[in-house]
Chains A and B, each alone.
Chain A
Amino acid sequence: ESLSTPSNTPETTRGMVQDPTQFDVLVMPNLYGDILSDLCAGLIGGLGVTPSGNIGANGVAIFESVHGTAPDIAGLDLANPTALLLSGVMMLRHMGLHDHAHKIQKACFDTIREKKVLTKDLGGNSKCSEFTADICRRVQDLD
């Protein structure tokens, strides 16, 4: 039994900081979700790698990355596409295209794991197009 099982939002944030692996699925009202989702994004590497989706009634959904527009690096082939790409993967799953989703996600994770063509925010100095090309190559190899 967890020594200090959280029983409310503030305790959950503490639990999240100390041992996030104790959590699986969390559901909550708007404000807490805002706070907790940013907190968790911070735990896994920031908004540059965090996907998200907004699901409505009748299956209407919008998937998006929640990082900023980064006007300072726009158009310079420097941005990290991971957040938007993984949001796209969420979208594929929502549409039932699980095979494609799995392939792209695996390729993306493998590229990041290899650390050879990372964008600047992840500690590398590759371009966005190089990062993307590596993922595409892996997807091809998986076919």
Chain B
Amino acid sequence: MAAHGAVLSLCRFIKPFGGGRLGNTVKVFGTTLTSHRNKSGLNGDNIPPPAKYGGRHTVTLIPGDGIGPELLNHVREVFRFSCVPVDFEVVHVNSALETDDDMNNAITAIRRNGVALKGNIETKHTLPASVKSRNNVLRTSLDLYANVMHCQSLPGVQTRHKNIDIMIIRENTEGEYSSLEHESVSGVVESLKIITRNNSLRIAEYAFQLARDKGRRRVTAVHKANIMKLGDGLFLQCCKEVASGYPDITFDSMIVDNTTMQLVSKPQQFDVMVMPNLYGNVVSNVCAGLVGGPGLVPGANYGRDYAVFETATRNTGKSIAGRNIANPTALLLASCMMLDHLELNDHATSIRNAVLTTMNETRLHTADIGGQGTTLEVVQSIMRIIQSKGQLTSEF
């Protein structure tokens, strides 16, 4: 298997790369040595797929809390059934503990494998303010600066608004989530919102590059610069600067409160949106609600060297855990995004199509989208559809 992998790798090295992908990467016997020079366009596509040994990828899996573990088990089932060449290294993170050991283990595992799939880790409000949210720690330690969410109306799901197709790019490392707060005077708390030129330029560059790669026409920056003149003002300024380098793409901006109003009345007007951290969180949730709920939308976090895939809206779904009613769609679609990232596009397409076809069956809708189907029924339907397409599968 090792020789086979090596031959594959050498073949890929010889094959011409389109669009500057893997521009400075040398593949030798299955391992990837990457030069970090000339890393232009910090798009997720320019991160080299991680090392493959023997033709199989290793991905870190963090089950998380609530419905995470059960849904990720279903993902593994579907992968095993479809003979996807991915092995999962499971790392548990216990949200109740105050120590950071398990979190550090998870981060190390992701550094090692380069890619991760995770459920949401609960943030306990009762822990002291100095303890950062675990999800936050993950994002900042690995510098996963771009959170990308693709919100699309799904044909089988009934929603008030149709034909929504929005890409939301959210700055993932700073802004209101800097966890810098102090109480110099008792009863008066001051929180610091951090906006830096560097990170704003970086995220704007990511957004415009992604828009160009996906053939999108318009990028909208969401801000509140009329109030936060320096902070959001800097963000907006950076977006404008980057926009000047992409004359083929229309750039405009909108204040966040107006944005939410426009989203609930005329969401079809939006194409690609880029924004700082908190607004990104709010807008992501609004859009997830517009297309049918948190159970349907996958999300991806990209950094220069790592990529972590999860559901777009980070709920743990504690109240529905273990009852076989959670919607597996979001995590399954996230795993498909991961497969695309690993360049296992055939598997990604096959599973994605099976998921979307299953969505058309109202009978199989789970409770969160108004149906009475169970998680298991949905997963079995997906596996049946994959099998019916004639691909290689293991037994049911």
Contact = CB atoms under 8 A, between A and B. Distances in A.
Grouping DSSP codes into helix (H, G, I), strand (E, B) and loop, the A interface class, with mixed when no group exceeds half, is: helix
Contacts of B263: 39, 42
B262 A13 contact: no
A37 B261 CA distance: 9
B67 to A, nearest CB: 10
A11 to B, nearest CB: 6
Interface residues of B, number: 28
Given A13-B260, A18-B293, A46-B265, A3 B285 contact: no
Interface in B304-330: 313, 315, 317, 319-320
Given A3-B367, A42-B263, A35 B257 contact: yes
Grouping DSSP codes into helix (H, G, I), strand (E, B) and loop, the B interface class, with mixed when no group exceeds half, is: helix
Contacts of B31: none
B319 A46 contact: no
Given A3-B367, A17-B289, A11 B261 contact: no
Nearest to A9: B282
B319 A3 contact: yes
Interface in B267-316: 278, 281-282, 284-286, 288-290, 293-294, 313, 315
A41 B261 contact: yes
A47 B285 contact: no
Interface in A7-40: 9-11, 13-18, 31, 34-39
B315 A11 contact: yes
B265 A4 contact: no
B139 to A, nearest CB: 15
Interface residues of A, number: 25
A123 to B, nearest CB: 14
B256 interface: yes
B278 to A, nearest CB: 8
Nearest to B313: A14
Given A13-B286, A14-B288, A39-B286, A4 B260 contact: no
Nearest to A32: B282
A95 interface: no
Interface string A75-101: 000000000000000000000000000
